């Protein structure tokens, strides 16, 4: 997730393919990339990010959007989180997703094994 202003903007190269950060991530094997197409205000994008983290299950102490523990896909969470912005048609419309729909799987920390003991 790239939350910076214009982090998802592609630059036209005339007769050649456009260039930009999203292409670099896709070529490196990133399955999905969330980035902003234009400049956004910090408070609105912070609200959107927090709402998105809760809806995808990345906020560890929260449940899903409907009270369940099943997280939404990244695309579904972004669509739902757009309404949390005060300027939802300006700042809420800036974040887009390149790639395929993904769901985050948050693993709980495993208990540490004491390897100093021998059986």
pLDDT in tens, 51-110: 999 988 887 654 545 555 577 889 999 999 999 999 989 999 999 999 988 888 766 666
Q: Which of 27, 34, 69, 68 is nearest to 48 (CA)?
A: 34
In the structure encoding, which two tokens stand for residue 107, read together? 């693993």
- Answer yes or no: is pLDDT of 118 > 70: no
Instruction: Please report, for residues 5, 51, 98, 109, the alpha-carbon distance to residue 95 in angstroms, rounded to integers and kept in the order given.
Output: 10, 13, 10, 31
Q: Would you call 30 a catalytic residue per the annotation?
A: no
- Measured CA to CA, the distance from residue 42 to residue 11 in angstroms comes to 24
For residue 20, what pLDDT band results from cuts at 50, 70 and 90? very high
Tell me what the mean pLDDT of segment 30-34 comes to. 94
Are 1 and 81 spatial neighbours (Cβ–Cβ below 8 Å)?
A: no
Among 5, 50, 58, 79, which one carries the catalytic annotation? Answer: 5
Are 107 and 85 spatial neighbours (Cβ–Cβ below 8 Å)?
A: no
């Amino acid at each position: 997730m790239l939350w910076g202003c214009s982090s998802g903007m592609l630059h036209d190269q005339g007769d050649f393919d456009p260039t930009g950060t999203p292409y670099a991530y896709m070529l490196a094997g990133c399955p999905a990339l969330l980035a902003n197409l234009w400049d956004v205000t910090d408070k609105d994008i912070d609200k959107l990010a927090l709402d998105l983290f809760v809806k995808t299950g990345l906020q560890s102490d929260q449940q899903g959007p409907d009270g369940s523990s099943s997280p939404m896909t990244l695309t579904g969470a972004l669509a739902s989180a757009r309404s949390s912005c005060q300027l939802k048609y300006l700042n809420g419309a800036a974040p887009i997703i390149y790639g395929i729909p993904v769901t985050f799987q948050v693993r709980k920390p495993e208990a540490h094994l004491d390897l100093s003991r021998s059986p």
